[in-house]
């Protein structure tokens, strides 16, 4: 089967939009991407990734609501919830629906409206993806859980925390540089631009100009980049976001009827694991390793064949761990990949050319589908200024739920 259309809304904070508005925006974007056009009435089923519309918007039973607003009733509509991996899980259900022979044309969407709540309430909603009996009562939030992973990573690989923070900063810098070139990103500025804006604001307020000589000085300044959960700081964390993404899947024998250049899905893997507190290791996500093995085996490729990947960087440490879990780097080497230029747009293996969750934004139900939209654009050479330097004929997406209780890996071929 193949992706024959892909679209995305702007990611950010939109007081005047609901999740249904955002999904419609992404759907209209997708319609414009289908080379040969299509009649929406041809869509046979809808799968929507959404984490928690009940608590974020007081709206349950959201899939038929989405179908109604897209004009797709009475077609079957199903919501998929797997925390931050809801979008990737919805994609897999769409793949299985076509592979079963039941449908030939399926719409897969992902959406979340998160900014309608104060930050402390949004944090509490996100915490429901952790272990509510053991982790959350102990005071953990997701920054705290990933901070524990970062601290364990530093200890395992003999990295002083200051050195770890510098290497994590390289990941943030790279992803913000990519996000600055993404018209739909929540953070459309490089960290250097953010620094200069902060400097200008200080001068306008009559304050003494900060003495930052580089972005590293800026990121080391506790006032500009405070610690959220040590060793993670503000610029290590993805934001609270609103947004939606949509892809159109077609059976292999129908793909060319819609697209001049369809992107085939040749591998799909899904796996699960227990909560973080019960694992033998905090420096690797076993569900990601298992899902990757399944996807590689299905696609009959190895990690070295992948030319580009969108990985789940909800925190900067997550990108480093993902690169190792996916087999791109040896243990302890994923943390250095950004500093060494390997994962830049002109590097050997570009990671998160969209800006990733870190800069593009992280409306959790939409993130897994949003990754596919970026892969679609890169593989069709439609990513504009952020187009990767090398030809991308094989790409991968990696979407994690919680701290790895769920992981989806998908592989795409042009």
* Tokens matching residue 39: 């009649």
| Closest C-alpha to 390, from 364, 358, 414 | 414
Pairing label, strands 406-413, 394-401: antiparallel
C-beta pairs of 73-78 under 8 Å, 24+ apart in sequence: 75/43, 75/44, 75/45, 75/46, 76/45, 76/46, 77/45, 77/46, 77/47, 77/48, 78/45, 78/46, 78/47, 78/48
Residue with tokens 């005071």: 139
Contacts of 216 (CB under 8 A, 6+ apart): 166, 169
Query: What's the burial of 200, exposed, middle or buried (CB within 10 Å: 0-12/13-18/19+)?
Result: exposed
Please state whether the peptide bond connecting residue 6 to the residue before it is cis, i.e. omega within 30 degrees of 0.
no
Q: Can you give the length of the chain in residues?
A: 414
Catalytic residue among 176, 312, 362, 398: 362
Which position has the token pair 């696609």? 299
Q: What gap in Å lies between CA 180 and CA 23, rounded to an integer?
A: 23
Evaluate the omega torsion of the peptide bond into residue 231 and state whether it is cis, within 30 degrees of 0: yes
Whether residue 381 lies in the annotated active site: no
Say whether 61 is catalytic.
no
Cα 173 from Cα 339, distance rounded (Å): 10
Residue 71, token pair as written in the block: 């004009």
Binning the chain into helix, strand and coil, the percentages to the nearest 5 are 40, 20, 40
Q: In this structure, what DSSP letter does residue 238 have?
A: P
Q: Which residues, other chains included, contact 409 with Cβ-Cβ below 8 Å and sequence gap of 6+?
A: 267, 268, 269, 270, 288, 291, 292, 294, 295, 326, 396, 397, 398, 399
> Would you name the residues annotated as active-site residues?
84, 362
């Amino acid at each position: 089967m193949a992706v024959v259309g892909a679209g995305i809304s702007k990611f950010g904070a939109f007081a005047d939009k609901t999740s249904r508005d955002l999904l419609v925006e992404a759907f209209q974007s997708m319609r414009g991407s289908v080379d040969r056009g299509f009649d929406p009435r041809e869509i046979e089923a809808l799968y929507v990734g959404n984490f928690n519309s009940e608590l974020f918007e007081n709206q349950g039973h959201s899939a038929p609501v989405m179908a109604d607003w897209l004009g797709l009733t009475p077609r079957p509509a199903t919501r998929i919830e797997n925390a931050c991996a809801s979008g990737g899980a919805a994609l897999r259900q769409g793949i299985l629906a076509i592979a079963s022979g039941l449908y030939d044309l399926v719409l897969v969407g992902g959406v979340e409206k998160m900014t309608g709540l104060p930050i402390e309430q949004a944090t509490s909603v996100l915490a429901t993806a952790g272990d509510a009996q053991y982790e959350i009562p102990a005071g953990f939030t997701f920054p705290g859980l990933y901070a524990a992973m970062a601290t364990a990573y530093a200890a395992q690989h003999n990295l002083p925390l200051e050195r770890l923070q510098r290497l994590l900063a390289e990941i943030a810098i790279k992803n913000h540089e990519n996000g600055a070139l993404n018209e739909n990103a929540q953070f459309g500025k490089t960290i250097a631009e953010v620094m200069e804006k902060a400097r200008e604001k200080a001068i306008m307020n009559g304050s003494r100009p900060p003495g930052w000589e580089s972005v590293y000085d800026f990121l080391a300044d506790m006032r500009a980049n405070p610690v959220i959960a040590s060793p993670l700081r503000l610029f290590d964390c993805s934001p609270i976001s609103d947004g939606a993404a949509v892809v159109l899947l077609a059976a292999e024998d129908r793909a060319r009827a819609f697209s001049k250049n369809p992107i085939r899905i040749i591998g799909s893997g899904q796996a699960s694991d227990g909560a973080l507190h019960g694992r033998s290791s905090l420096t690797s996500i076993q569900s990601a390793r298992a899902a990757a093995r399944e996807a590689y085996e299905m696609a009959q490729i190895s990690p070295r064949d992948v030319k580009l990947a969108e990985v789940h960087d909800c925190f900067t440490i997550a990108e480093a761990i993902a690169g190792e879990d996916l087999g791109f780097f040896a243990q302890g080497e994923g943390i250095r990949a950004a500093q060494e230029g390997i994962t830049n747009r002109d590097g050997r293996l570009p990671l998160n050319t969209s800006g990733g969750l870190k800069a593009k934004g992280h409306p959790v139900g939409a993130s897994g589908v949003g990754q596919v939209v970026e892969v679609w654009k890169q593989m069709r050479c439609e990513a504009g200024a952020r187009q990767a330097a090398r030809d991308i004929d094989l790409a991968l997406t990696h979407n994690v739920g919680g701290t790895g209780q769920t992981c989806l890996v998908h592989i795409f071929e042009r």
